[in-house]
Structures are given as structure tokens and as C-alpha cells.
Chain A
Amino acid sequence: DQQVKQNSPSLSVQEGRISILNCDYTNSMFDYFLWYKKYPAEGPTFLISISSIKDKNEDGRFTVFLNKSAKHLSLHIVPSQPGDSAVYFCATGGGNKLTFGTGTQLKVEL
């Protein structure tokens, strides 16, 4: 049973507009939440995180929102740039390991 779900396998956005990537989780015991970005033929790289005691964290163009009551996590990228085109994985953590979602392929078009 998938504990972390990214229901949109792909997303296409125009350059300069906002990209919103979504993630749902089932386990209310998760302590922290992260987003990773992955380019082809490379390993995932950490993007941004948020702990369960917060509902928003911002880092430049990237903002992560956490809605604990809905068990929902989202990543906002604004403005979107062509270099943001990649697969984005959300991940939830607790204990010794991370549990990843299935990923969303973001394509930012000119």
C-alpha cells in the first residue's frame, strides 16, 4: 500500500508561471517532509523540507506547504524556469528512513 502518493505523473507549465506539485500521505506519524528533484541519469537532489510543526517553508522560488489535517503536501515554484524541468519526488520521514512518492514529471515550456 502506497503511503505517499503523487497522483499527477506529469505537469506542463509555461515559463514564468507557477508550478504546483502535490503529494498526499497516509501516516500521520511522519515527522518531516521533503522534496527532491531528479534530472535524467542523475541521482535525486534535495530541494526543500518542512517539519511537521510548521505549515510553510520558503526558499527562494520554492515554497512547500503542509496541511496536516488533510495529510497533504505541496510544492510551489514561482516563477517556473526551463531548468526546473525534472522529476519531483516528495518524501516523508520518520525513524531511520524516507518514504518516497512515485514522482511528478514537470515540464516548463518556453
Chain B
Amino acid sequence: DAGITQSPRHKVTETGTPVTLRCHQTENHRYMYWYRQDPGHGLRLIHYSYGVKDTDKGEVSDGYSVSRSKTEDFLLTLESATSSQTSVYFCAISRRMENTEAFFGQGTRLTVV
């Protein structure tokens, strides 16, 4: 299995509070991604990174920011959590731009109350 760890695995937070999710990899892969999974929507890309300090928006980036100061860490921040951000968040990594195969973490279940 690819060395990819998400933390925390579960979190409950209050509306309006900032939340940071962490993705850590030991594979030295260049590309890292944050997805959210919701019923009826599948997996939707929030943000991705193609190198240290190089990030770009995905299809559902509003309300989220990311940072990547080291190859191994990719942080996802909910600036002011809302109930619509209750979801399961997955981090993924891949070696190549073609992204022919991405490896996923085990997910973070976030509940915003």
C-alpha cells in the first residue's frame, strides 16, 4: 500500500470555526489531491498540487484553501466551516502528470454542526 496518511480520521466541529485536515505521504510523489465524497456526487476535486508551493483549484474549491510547503504534506483548510462542508474528505497522490493511477488515503469524516 502507498504510504499516505490522513489526520484526523474523524472530526466534529462547529459552524464558523476554521478546520485543517492533513495529508502526509512517504512516497515522494509529486502530485497531491484533495477530494470530497458526497452521496449522489461521487468524488469531486477540491484542490490539487503539482509541486511544493504549486497548487490549483478543482471543481468545488469555494470555502477551501490549501498549502504545500513540503513534498510530503498537503494541508486542506476550511476557512469558516459550514454545514454544507460535512463530508468525507480523501487525499490522493500520484507520480506522473498523466495521473494514470492515484493512491488514496483512508479518508477523514468531517461533521460540521
- A31 CA to B99 CA, complexed, in Å: 10
Which of A31, A43, A97, A101 makes the CB contact (< 8 A) with B105? A43
| Known contacts A96-B56, A102-B40, A102-B42; A43/B101 CB under 8 A | no
A residues near B43, Cβ cutoff 8 Å = 44, 89, 91, 100, 103
On whether the beta carbons of B106 and A43 are closer than 8 Å, the reply is yes
- Across the interface, A34 reaches (CB within 8 A) one of B42, B45, B56, B100, namely B100
Question: Any chain A CB within 8 A of the CB of B8?
Answer: no
Docked pose: A99 CA to B8 CA in angstroms: 25
A interface, by DSSP: helix, strand, loop or mixed? strand
- A91 cross-chain contacts in B, Cβ below 8 A: 43
Chain A interface category by residue count: 20 to 34
For chain B, residues 80 to 107, give those with C-beta under 8 angstroms from any C-beta of chain A: 90, 92, 97-107
Contact B90 A100 (CB under 8 A): no
| 6 additional contacts (CB under 8 A) given A46-B101, A96-B48, A98-B99 | A32-B98, A43-B106, A96-B99, A97-B99, A102-B40, A102-B42
Closest 8 CB pairs of A and B: A43-B104, A102-B42, A100-B43, A100-B42, A46-B101, A44-B104, A103-B42, A43-B106
Q: Which residues of A contact B (CB under 8 A)?
A: 4, 6, 31-32, 34, 36, 41-46, 49, 89, 91, 93, 95-103
